């Protein structure tokens, strides 16, 4: 895994040219608590809104998050949305050639989201008209951009930019200058993709292109997939195909060795949203191949990135740090202890809590030494968990326990204590902290509920802090007859 991590570091030096359909994604978050008396429809109570780049713009955003040097070529309308898209590209530091077309509305997709459920999507879009007068300018810009890039990514959303006229022009220029071109396709007409280095359809798109339905659960799927891939590779002189299979991972077939199929299993363990996962996969795969990473390892990186992004809500990006963390967690899980995924840093916790809040989840927090985990601790966790959707437990480090309990404690080291807590179904995440007090964690995470036994508010600064911003401090009922000190005395006796 260290090797893959070193490959991630190479990505930041890659120059990537992205060409494709760009749009603005608007995510409006809120709650549904009742049905309208006017009609049998839910009443959506708006909370907040997020705007971000969508389609090819999401590919660009993911590349920027990975640290790549990105150039974008696309078309928007000469309107407010087009200006918003242009501004967002500039904020990301993207060198862009954004052609503005009068009379053409920039594409916008609006999603209403309650909790982590999509209620409705409203689209404003028109297919981009063919404007012959723009083609010479498009080719001039394209020629300069292709010369100064390491790899070219085409993000085709079938909105009118990547046509049977422009797409072959792009591929031909890439061939002339020895640049690899990777395509995320749309539709079943692969004629325009002739000569591409790699085409990356999902299973549905692959099925439509071949004209045959595929089911990865069937025992003969791989043989059928190889036969279908051969047809596309031979007919359109495509060098290789990478088919994403959702929960079944992805497969790769090359024209150089069409009888061999390479499969990578999925990384996603808990899926909140698949919006933009294909864009993340394309960006990571393209950047990795552009950096000279072997295809198999590039697939692993793309798969790991997709696994991160489907755990987020809405169109999302993956940073280099998140990708490294995902690979690190995968390495940890492979030693037989998947519970280690639940042991996180404060920085990781901040991002997780932010995502959970967008999903409408209630965050709970408690802390302690938990030296010898006993029934009293379990009872406290049970009480705390009833108050929230997600329970985060902070556990004192060994040095912190010694300062608090004396040199003979803890009996069990911090790794053991953290693992025992992470193994409990009642506990969602564990943070080990060095300080005497966890108040810095409460300040950073701002949980909705903080729970603790044996304290009154006047001696509980964390509880007062949570109450100060409108949260709830819950004093847990102690289960009498259980304590670590009592266990220690019994063992001594």
18/145 Cα distance (integer angstroms) = 10
Measured from the Cβ of residue 135, the count of other Cβ atoms closer than 10 Å reads 14
Tokens of 283: 């960006």
Measured from the Cβ of residue 477, the count of other Cβ atoms closer than 10 Å reads 10
42-55 vs 22-35, strand pairing mode: antiparallel
Q: What's the number of CA atoms in the CB half-sphere (13 Å) around residue 387?
A: 23
In 3D, which of 224, 275, 238 has the Cα closest to residue 62? 275
117-124 vs 107-114, strand pairing mode: antiparallel
Task: Calculate the alpha carbon distances from 492 to 376, 388, 480, 486, 487 in Å.
Answer: 20, 38, 21, 10, 9
Query: Phi first, then psi: what are they for 434, rounded to 5°?
Result: -90, -25
Q: Counting Cβ atoms within 10 Å, is residue 349 exposed (0-12), middle (13-18) or buried (19+)?
A: buried
| 107-114: strand order across its sheet | 42-55, 22-35, 107-114, 117-124
Instruction: Provide the CA 217 distance to its chain's centre, in angstroms.
Output: 25
In 3D, which of 6, 10, 1, 24 has the Cα closest to residue 291? 10
With residue 379 as reference, give the H or E element that holds it: helix 375-385
Q: Counting Cβ atoms within 10 Å, is residue 450 exposed (0-12), middle (13-18) or buried (19+)?
A: buried
Residues with a catalytic annotation lie at 279
Residue for token pair 């009642």: 426
């Amino acid at each position: 895994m260290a090797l893959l991590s070193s490959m991630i570091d190479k990505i930041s030096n890659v120059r990537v040219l992205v060409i494709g359909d760009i749009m603005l994604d608007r995510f409006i978050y809120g709650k549904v608590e009742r049905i309208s008396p006017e009609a049998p429809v839910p009443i959506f109570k708006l909370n907040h809104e997020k705007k971000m780049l969508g389609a090819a713009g999401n590919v660009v955003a993911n590349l920027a998050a990975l640290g790549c040097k990105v150039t974008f070529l696309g078309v928007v309308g000469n309107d407010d949305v087009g200006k918003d898209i242009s501004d967002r590209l500039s904020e990301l530091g993207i060198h862009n050639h954004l052609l503005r077309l009068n009379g053409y509305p920039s594409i916008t997709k609006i999603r209403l989201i309650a909790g982590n459920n999509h209620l409705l999507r409203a689209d404003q879009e028109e297919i981009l008209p063919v404007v012959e007068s723009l083609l010479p300018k498009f080719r001039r810009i394209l020629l300069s951009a292709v010369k100064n890039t390491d790899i070219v990514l085409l993000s085709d959303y079938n909105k009118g930019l990547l046509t049977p006229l422009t797409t072959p022009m792009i591929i031909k220029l890439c061939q002339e200058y020895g640049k690899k071109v990777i395509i995320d396709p749309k539709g079943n007409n692969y004629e325009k993709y002739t000569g591409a280095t790699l085409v990356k359809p999902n299973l549905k798109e692959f099925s439509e292109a071949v004209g045959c339905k595929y089911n990865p659960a069937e025992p003969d799927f791989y043989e059928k997939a190889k036969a279908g891939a051969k047809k596309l590779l031979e007919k359109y002189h495509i060098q290789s195909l990478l088919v994403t299979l959702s929960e079944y991972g992805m497969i790769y077939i090359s024209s150089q060795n069409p009888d061999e199929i390479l499969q990578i299993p999925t990384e996603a363990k808990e899926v909140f949203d698949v919006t933009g996962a294909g864009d993340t996969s394309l960006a990571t795969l393209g950047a990795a191949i552009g950096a000279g990473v072997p295809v198999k390892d590039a697939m692993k990186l793309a798969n790991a990135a997709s696994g991160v992004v489907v755990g987020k809500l809405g169109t999302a990006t993956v940073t280099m740090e998140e990708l490294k963390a995902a690979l690190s967690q995968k390495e940890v899980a492979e030693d037989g202890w998947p519970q280690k995924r639940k042991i996180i840093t404060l920085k990781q916790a901040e991002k997780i809590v932010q995502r959970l809040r967008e999903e409408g989840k209630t965050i709970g927090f408690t802390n302690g030494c938990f030296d010898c985990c006993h029934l009293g601790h379990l009872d406290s966790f049970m009480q705390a968990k009833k108050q929230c959707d997600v329970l985060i437990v902070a556990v004192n480090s060994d040095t912190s326990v010694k300062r608090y309990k004396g040199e003979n404690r803890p009996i069990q080291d911090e790794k053991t204590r953290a693992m025992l807590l992470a193994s409990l179904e009642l506990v969602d995440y564990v943070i080990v902290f060095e300080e005497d007090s966890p108040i810095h964690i409460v300040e950073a995470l701002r949980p909705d509920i903080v729970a603790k036994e044996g304290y009154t508010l006047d001696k509980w600064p964390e509880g007062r802090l949570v109450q100060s911003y409108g949260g709830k401090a819950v004093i847990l009922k102690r289960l009498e007859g259980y304590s670590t000190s009592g266990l220690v005395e019994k063992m001594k006796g």
